[in-house]
Structure 1
Amino acid sequence: MLANRTTQAILFSLLALGLFDGMGLIIKHLSPNYGAAELSAYRNLCGLIPAGLVLWFSQDWHDRGRIVRVRQWRLALMRGAILTFAQYFFYLSLGLLSFATASTITYANALFMTALAVPLLGEQVGWVRWSAVLIGFVGVIMVVGPGQDTFTPAALLPLAAAACYALTGVTARMIDQEVPGALINLYSSGVAAVGSLILAVTTTGFSPLQSTSDLGWILGMGLIGGTAVLFLIFAYRMTEQSNLAPFSYFGIPLAFLLGWLFFDEQPWSELFPGALLIAAGGLLIIWRERRLRQNAQTTTSSAT
């Protein structure tokens, strides 16, 4: 039964991965006519609906008396503000870089999370995980390409997005364990919606709709992104994150395939072999964390 739930969770996570890529394709399609901040605003406003639904149908939230106040509310609000910039940097990069390149660089978030866990969470990171971080960052440098003729400062945008996404992950772990994840998600979605609206107004503003079909694309972007979040939350509830993390790297070849199919992009020289090193570094971190968790469980079982 447990294996079956894990399999279902993996399928949900892969479906979420495909939906996130679908959302990214729409963002890239709309980028020539609409600013990254306004697309982020549309996405976050639509995202409030699934965030609210997840909270309402969360049994954990109901069991805890439907609390809406978080003791570390400042941290929860700050997490939403960081998410605002993470989305803005990533959406902006989709309009400037090839789809696969922008998507691949953001996978450095696993490396950033490991590095940030030391000062923010006080975690002890051994030589295996530091080696994994180093391998992954070498891959990032190869993809970003500083010093090469093909280098563009726009390649730093998805790297900044990866750092911000990693920071949202680490700060979520700093919030009290008894706070339902769905409530944290709603806080972040609400702040990101407000933040992206402010960002849009103060940067590019809101462009008039170019066509009625664009309205459909914008609504589709929000619904697809919101649905992806739902599937990802379902997956995380069904099994441990360490069981799902390795499959996230399927996103790298998938992004390359989608970029080739929809935009005729073939950034072989940009991505390889750097993308392989990013994936290798991330997978090594995941493997090491799983081993540490298994050893801790074995020690606990022996002690009892």
Structure 2
Amino acid sequence: MALSKNMRGALFMSLAMAGFTFNDAITKLLTADLGVAQLIFMRGVVASVLIYLLARHRGAMRSWRRAADPWVMLRVVGELGGTLTFLIGLSHIPLANASAILQGLPLAVTMGAALFLAEPVGWRRWGAIIAGFIGILIVIRPGLDGFSPYALMIVGTVLFATMRDIATRKVDPEIPSLFLSTVTAVAVTLAGLVLIWPTGGWDPVSAPELGLIGLAACLLLVGYHFIVGSMREGDISFIAPFRYTSLLWALALGIVVFGDYPDTYTLVGSAIVIGSGLYTLYRERIRSDEMPASHAPVRHSP
């Protein structure tokens, strides 16, 4: 039985989150010895080559002039800003904390969809969005012991990623997802190269570190491809909550790899954010059931 567009989008989102979270764990390990910009560049070189070859194989490459499309460029800016802010923050705070803050992204995307894509969001979901942001504040715990200013970098990641996801929905559907992924990977890689020397220069890289960078790049390929595919399938408000699967991976990897056990603030705040996101999903499903078929949004395949 064929999956619906919403279910395909949910599956793609779950796969993307697994790829990104394992990549994040490897990257966090590597930041102990290598600079963030150098990691972005080295990981990006491998990822860009892999994505480009896959795009060529599937006939997804288009004229590079399509990369100058304003929505494509805005998507690249969002991806670049999100990558920089997240890796800087991740190198200084536990993986689970960074992931917990990032769980506010589905709520931010739902809010962005209402403001910029005219998707209807009622007062109940607006209330859930506010509650979710309160949960993020609990994780960040401003003014309390345990507060790290680097947690605010992850808040910046949420804003940049929201920009990226909204821009993805506005990109011409004739532009293949793999072409978007290739353009994004190349742009982020070049930005990493430019930033290496202003941020501390080049650090020596061992053979094991090269292997981990290659693995991280492959996982990044999985994340890049499926995040684009998920945003172009079904309704954002249905698909976005499946980002929460990344928190499960982050909690497990944080304990097993780094020995970081989440504290009460992180667990309570995460529960509030996830609960708020799941409630928005519940309200969206009710709205979809009540919507006449003639008013249902029309979606186009990539």
| Shorter-normalised TM range | 0.7 to 0.9
Structure 2 partner of 1:38: 38
Matched, 1:127 2:113: no
- Alignment-mate amino acid for residue 134 of structure 2: V
Matched, 1:282 2:270: no
Helix, strand or coil: the match of 1:265?
coil
Matched, 1:108 2:104: yes
Q: Spell out, residue by residue over 1:100-124, the C-alpha distance to the aligned partner (whole angstroms, 9 max, x if none).
A: 0011111111122233334433444
Cα distance in structure 1, aligned partners of 2:239 and 2:118? 24
Q: What TM-score comes out, normalization by structure 1 length?
A: 0.84
Checking the alignment, whether the CA contact within 8 Å between 2:181 and 2:224 is kept in structure 1 is no
Q: Which moved more, 1:103-112 or 1:2-11?
A: 2-11
Q: Spell out, residue by residue over 1:6-36, the C-alpha distance to the aligned partner (whole angstroms, 9 max, x if none).
A: 8787666544433322211111111111122
Checking the alignment, whether the CA contact within 8 Å between 2:74 and 2:163 is kept in structure 1 is no
Cα distance in structure 1, aligned partners of 2:67 and 2:14? 34
Checking the alignment, whether the CA contact within 8 Å between 1:77 and 1:191 is kept in structure 2 is no
Matched, 1:154 2:154: no
Q: What TM-score comes out, normalization by structure 2 length?
A: 0.84
Matched, 1:182 2:178: yes
Deviation at 1:68, TM superposition (A): 4.6
- The 5 Å alignment of 1:1-304 reads 1-3=1-3, 13-58=13-58, 61=60, 66=62, 68-70=64-66, 73-209=69-205, 211-230=206-225, 244-296=239-291, 298-300=293-295
Aligned in 2, Cα 1:103/1:188: closer, same or farther, shift over 3 Å?
Answer: same
- Alignment-mate amino acid for residue 27 of structure 1: T
Checking the alignment, whether the CA contact within 8 Å between 1:50 and 1:227 is kept in structure 2 is no
Q: Spell out, residue by residue over 1:61-117, the C-alpha distance to the aligned partner (whole angstroms, 9 max, x if none).
A: 58xxx5554386133123212211211111112211111001111111112223333
Checking the alignment, whether the CA contact within 8 Å between 1:72 and 1:175 is kept in structure 2 is no
Structure 2: stretches of 5+ with no match in the other structure: 297-302
Cα distance in structure 2, aligned partners of 1:50 and 1:283? 35
Residues matched between the structures, number:
296
- Alignment-mate amino acid for residue 167 of structure 1: M
Deviation at 1:290, TM superposition (A): 3.9
Deviation at 1:288, TM superposition (A): 3.1
- Alignment-mate amino acid for residue 181 of structure 2: N
- Alignment-mate amino acid for residue 128 of structure 2: A
Cα distance in structure 1, aligned partners of 2:96 and 2:204? 29
Aligned in 2, Cα 1:14/1:179: closer, same or farther, shift over 3 Å?
Answer: closer
**Fraction of identical pairs, as percent:** 26
Q: Spell out, residue by residue over 1:231-263, the C-alpha distance to the aligned partner (whole angstroms, 9 max, x if none).
A: 556667887666654433122232112101111
Deviation at 1:132, TM superposition (A): 1.5
Deviation at 1:279, TM superposition (A): 0.8
Cα distance in structure 2, aligned partners of 1:124 and 1:10? 20
Structure 1: stretches of 5+ with no match in the other structure: none
Aligned in 2, Cα 1:270/1:237: closer, same or farther, shift over 3 Å?
Answer: same
Helix, strand or coil: the match of 1:177?
coil
Cα distance in structure 2, aligned partners of 1:300 and 1:86? 35
Helix, strand or coil: the match of 1:249?
helix
